[in-house]
Structures are given as C-alpha cells and as structure tokens.
Amino acid sequence: MIIEMNSIRKSFGSNDVLKDVSLSLEGGEICALLGENGAGKSTLMNILGGVHQMDQGSITIDGKSQQFSTPAQSQEAGIAFIHQELNLINDLPIYENMFLGREIKTKRGSLDLERMFQETKEMFEKMNVDLDPKTMVRDLDSSYKQIVEICRAMMTNASIIIMDEPTTSLTDREIERVFTMMKTMKDHNVGIIFISHKLNEVLQVCDRYLVLRDGNLVAEGNVSEVTTNDLAHFMVGYNVRTESLLREKELGEEVLSVEALTYNHTFKDINFSVKAGEVVGVTGLLGDGRSELFQSIFGADDISSGKIYLNEKEVKITSTTQAINEGIAYLPRNRKENAIIGDMDIMENASIVTWPKFSKRGVIDQKKQQDTFEKQRKTLRLKMGKLTDSITSLSGGNQQKVVLAKWLASNPKLLILDNPTQGVDVGAKEDIYDIILKLADENIAIVVLSSEAHEIIRVCDRALVMYHGVIQGEVKKETMNEHNIMSLATGGQLT
C-alpha cells in the first residue's frame, strides 16, 4: 500500500497551518514526522485520519483518490490513528475499550464479552504486555493507557498506523516494548508515521524523516544519513546547544525536608531535603512511586506517617490550596488529565492559580494578570493566537507551556515539576531548562521528576533514584551518568 498526500493546505481562521505539504509512505516503512510545537504535525495527521478537512490538496491510496470526511472512513481505508491525547473510556474495562466502535456481537446480537476478552488477552500475550484485560481503564496510569491504545490500533489490522507522540509519558522499558511492536508491524508490511520530539528515538526506530517548519516541508531523507543535531537544526532553523548545564552555586537554606515519609505500599521511609537555589532530580522506572510521593507532599494525597518541614518548620499539608499558600507549586505529570481545563480559554488556564494574588476585594486586576502572562509568553516562546482562544486549539507542546506559565506566575518558593518537558520540542526544551536554572539562581528550590536520564543529568545538581517506593540511591557530580541511574532504577547499587 502506498499513501500519498499532495499539496495539502489548511488554515484555522487566519492561521495558515499547512501551506503546501506533500508526503508519501509505503507499507513496511517507518517515517518520522518532525517539527517544532505548532508546526502542523498533528493537523496534517488529523487530515489523513479524517478528523479535519483539508482546504486544498488530495490524498491517494495506491493511486486511487480518497476523501475522508470522518474518522470512520479513514479507518475503513486501513488507517489507524493513535492520538497525542489519549482516547479511552475510563469507566470500561480494557477489553471493551479495545473494541470501541467495532464491538464483537454474539449470534443473538448481544456483546460477545468473552470473545473480546480472549482476543485482547491473546494480543497482550503476543505483544508481551503484562496487563489483565479486565482492569478498568481508570485504574491504569497514563503509560499503560498508551500501551492499550497501541495494542488497540494493532488489532484493527491497519495497513498504516499514525502514532502521534506515543512515547511521551512512557519509561525506557516500555518504550523498548513499543519499538519492538513497531518493528513487528513493519515486518508485517505495515507503514508507520511516527511523531516524536525525542530525536534519539527517531534515529533508533525510523527509516525516513520529514520535517515541517512554518507550514512547509523543509527537509526529508534517510535517517541513516543524519545525526540528532542535524534533525534539531532542520526543525528550528538554527543550531541547538547541547552541552551540559552544570553550574557552581552557593545554596541557601533548607526549603523542604521530609523525614521517614510513608504511604501504604506506595512509598516507604523517604528522607531527603532541597535547599534554596538547588535543583534536585527524582527519577526511576514505572511504579517507582515518585509522582505519588510528591502528590502527597503537595497535599493532593495522604501520608500514613512521617514528617514534612518547610523552612525547618513542621507542616501538615492536608489540601492543595494549603500547599499553594505555603508557597509550593506542582506541575503534574499528565497534562490532559490533571493540568488543563478544556472548557476554559488560554488566559483562564494560565491564571487559575494566581487569581487570589491578582484580586483585590474580589475584583481581579486583569491588566496586571495579562502583563504577567505576556512576560511568560515571551520567555516561553508560546505560539498562540488570542488570549481568549480555547486552550485545546493550541498544539500539545504549547499547552504544556501554558501550564508552566501558570505555575511560574504563582511565584513559588518550592517548585515541583513532574515531567516538565512532555511533548515539548527541542528548542523549547532548552528554553525550559534555561528557565529552571534561572529560577534556581533566584533562590527557588526546584524538584524535577523525570524518567529521562539525560534530562536529569542536563539540569539537576543531584538526583534521587527511586525503585518500588524507596530511594535506592543518590547520584551527584561525578556519579551522575545514565549507567548509574539505570542501575539504581532497576534495584542495583552504585558500583
């Protein structure tokens, strides 16, 4: 099967997102689609997936012209789409989610739950996925939801699979599993379009690359002929700096310290502290308990025992409002589920934490609020239209920047960032690292939770590595490298 998209144009209002883009893909080929946040990658794929209509251009499959007015029509033509934002129903078990819209029925016309369960189970076995198909989707964390979506796409026997940032919230081990799945599909002559901001992954798994910038295709070729630096250059149009950001700095007083913090089986006997001006990383593999630990510190969840100190004074934080009042900011791990409010516009999303700060006797000082946001918008290089546009009209990476802006505006003394660069392009990643270091220079205590070892190494002064709810070890300066982090994260010791 060969798919060709020819001279595609698409605008949203006055925003010309795709100016004249053509691409082709054959079965058995993995092609990377790259570009900065807002470059138009998801839009191009939404056109192929029947979600959006193109303004001009044509799509052909094996030379025959096609028109997709709905996602169903695109699916019928053999195209499966794994969206950037997940699309599962929380209140159904996995195996029913696997057959949404193409349910298997018994002869009598009722749902054949047993067969759907069996087929899901077989798929999981084939793909080496350790999940009970009867688990409710709401009980899965975001990385497992992603894996379920990938398996669902594979079950439709599609000839072309579009994967829009499938690995953003996965850990290394799961990414490996997804790559193995992709290679198996490739061997079965399935063509894959792979969108990712992780350029090392692109080199590892893709055959070809296409790069979009400002609505045009600016580069394409074979992956074997380029480096990650080349790809980054094509994306942003200039050379992206990649050296480490190590710095020497006097640290201030202890802002946060915890003693023997424990919550059921999620985390146990946690002791650590963070000083003003310090950037402490916390990393580990899936199930390490790091997000749960900091959700508890932020008052979103309980603790069973242990003590929390802020500026050396013991505090009992029982709500997130109290945590915010104490000067803690927490950027959560999963943007769609925990960080953005889809019904609100950009400005409302960006200022929701700071409303109390900008209001006087119940009246919000909108000018002050907008000035603050305007500053953030510039430093974060946010690509957006009007402040009153819906947050969901922004590209994924730009939504993440709005969430970051929101927390920065609260002027925290302790800033907890969980997966801060999820879905953010290479250029903007550097912007965010710069901002983290600048905030540290302004004496904010910062905790960065991340599953990407290179990110931790890049921006943190030292890092705690967790394994099944305990701090397995700490790395700093000369011991801070991927090998040591991985060995602690898998339950080993520093050698």
Which residues contact Mg ion (rule: CB under 5 A)? Answer: 42, 84, 395-396
Does 216 bind ligand ATP (CB under 6 A)? Our answer is: no
CA distance 71 to 168: 23
Buried-state track 83-92, b at ≥16 Cβ within 10 A, e below 16: bbbbebeeee
Location of structure tokens 């790809």: 231
Using CB under 6 A, pick the residue from 31, 35, 153, 418 that binds ligand ATP: 35
427 binds, among ligand ATP, Mg ion, none (CB under 5 to 8 A by kind): none
Contact call for residue 38 and ligand ATP (CB under 6 A): yes
Report the alpha-carbon distance of residue 275 to residue 444 in Å, rounded: 8
C-beta of 11 vs 411, nearer to ligand ATP: 11
Q: Which of 295, 376, 398, 451 binds ligand ATP (CB under 6 A)?
A: 398
**Do 112 and 106 contact (CB within 8 A), yes or no?**
yes
Q: Which does 60 bind (CB under 5 to 8 A by kind): ligand ATP, Mg ion, none?
A: none
- Categorise residue 369: left if φ over 0, alpha if ψ from -120 to 50, beta otherwise: alpha
CA distance 279 to 437: 8
Q: Tell whether residue 191 is a contact of ligand ATP (CB under 6 A).
A: no
Instruction: State yes or no: residue 159 binds ligand ATP (CB under 6 A).
Output: no
Which one-letter DSSP state was computed for residue 452?
A: -
Q: Which residue is nearest to Mg ion (CB)?
A: 42
Q: How far is the CB of 468 from ligand ATP (least distance, A)?
A: 33
The answer to whether residue 43 forms part of the interface with ligand ATP (CB under 6 A) is: yes
Instruction: Label residues 348-382 b or e (16+ Cβ within 10 Å = b).
Output: bbbbebbeebbeeeeeeeeeebbebbeebbebbeb
The distance of closest approach from Cβ of residue 23 to ligand ATP in the complex, given in angstroms and rounded to an integer, is: 14
Residue with Cβ nearer ligand ATP (38 or 277): 38
In 181-311, DSSP assigns E strands to 191-195, 208-213, 216-222, 254-263, 267-275, 279-284, 305-310
Q: Is 232 in the site for ligand ATP (CB under 6 A)?
A: no
Among 15, 135, 320, 410, binds ligand ATP (CB under 6 A): 15
429 binds ligand ATP (CB under 6 A): no
Which of ligand ATP, Mg ion, none sits in contact with 299, Cβ below 5 to 8 A by type?
none
Q: How many CB atoms lie within 10 A of CB 265?
A: 10
Interface with ligand ATP includes 50 (CB under 6 A)?
Answer: no
When asked if residue 41 is in the footprint of ligand ATP (CB under 6 A), the reply is yes
Using CB under 6 A as the binding rule, whether residue 196 contacts ligand ATP is answered as no
Q: Does the protein bind ligand ATP through residue 235 (CB under 6 A)? A: no
Furthest-apart CA atoms within the chain: distance in Å: 74
- The whole-angstrom separation of Cα 28 and Cα 309 is 56
Residues forming contacts to ligand ATP in the complex (CB under 6 A) are 12, 15, 17, 35, 37-43, 84, 383, 393-398, 423, 425
